[in-house]
Chains A and B, each alone.
Chain A
Amino acid sequence: MTVKDLCDKLSLTVLTCGDRLNRETNGCYIGDLLSWVMGRAREDAAWITVMGNINSVAVAKLADLSCIILCEKASLDEDARAQADANGIVILSGEDPAYELALKLYEASKS
């Protein structure tokens, strides 16, 4: 499944790097503590979080995550937006809480 498929099936809004949605995505990790994410998330996972700061962008980049999904419309800092665009990190935004997003992601991955 590509990030674009994920975006369509979960009704997410693209906040950064709309030109990089063809990247493959596989599974997801939910968490707001950055070291937990770096320690546990698998490569190519979508990362569901409320952390829209510049450090989240660094984590997604270094840990090879497919995208960041800000749940419950959590805000994205302006410097994080600029950093994500500069580094090719896709950030998406959704209205649903993390649990519902993960459920939808699971369903989407099965279809």
Chain B
Amino acid sequence: MQPIIKTYVIPGDDFTHAGEASGKVKAMLKQLGYDSDAVRRIAIAMYEAEINMVIHADGGKATVEIHPDRVELTLQDSGPGIEDVELAMQEGYSTAPDEVRALGFGAGMGLPNIKKYTDDMKIESIVGTGTKIYMLVKAGKTS
């Protein structure tokens, strides 16, 4: 069966609209009948990746592929890249600026949360070029 493919543009430096794309994906997956735990994990992982692009990369693009047994998400930006991916994956490590922390972000939990909530995750990042995050969540339909 052909996957359903959707793409979303994530606006940069815009915290008021951050989460709209993940909200739409969540609503669509719920409507398609995917199980609620998987939908919740996908929504949170995607929101974390969205927020990272808003904070660090002036936005980017998200592609969502919905298969009968899984959902694959790729979020790609043309931001500054991550110098040390291993360090960035550690809980509590953050390079977010103070004004972003005042909004409640920058806890250094974004990438760890993505890892926690997905079944597979890959980060490709080139300093000065950008970052691509791939996520896979196994998800089936309950109805």
Contacts and interface: CB of A to CB of B under 8 A. Distances in A.
A49 B2 CA distance: 43
Contacts of A14: none
B112 A39 contact: yes
A64 to B, nearest CB: 5
Interface string B23-45: 10010000000001100100110
A34 B40 contact: no
Nearest to A58: B19
Which of A53, A54, A58, A59 has the most CB atoms of chain B within a 10 A radius of its CB? A58
Contact of B19 (A51, A55, A64, A79): A55
Interface stretch (B100-108, B124-132, B135-143): B100-108
Contact of B113 (A38, A51, A54): A38
A106 interface: no
Contacts of B23: 58, 61-62, 87
B44 A63 contact: yes
A35 B109 contact: yes
A61 B103 CA distance: 17
Which of B19, B26, B104, B110 has most A Cβ within 10 Å? B104
Given A43-B40, A62-B23, A33 B109 contact: yes
B47 to A, nearest CB: 5
Contacts of A32: 104
A38 B103 contact: no
Contact of B110 (A35, A53, A58, A59): A35
Given A62-B23, A62-B43, A39 B104 contact: no
A99 interface: no
A39 B15 contact: no
A61 B25 CA distance: 12
B48 interface: yes
Nearest to A53: B103
B43 A55 contact: no
A35 B48 contact: yes
Given A33-B104, A54-B15, A55-B15, A63 B109 contact: no
Interface of B: 15-16, 18-19, 22-23, 26, 36-37, 40, 43-44, 47-48, 103-105, 107-110, 112-113, 116
9 contacts: A35-B108, A36-B109, A38-B47, A38-B109, A43-B40, A55-B15, A55-B18, A58-B23, A63-B40
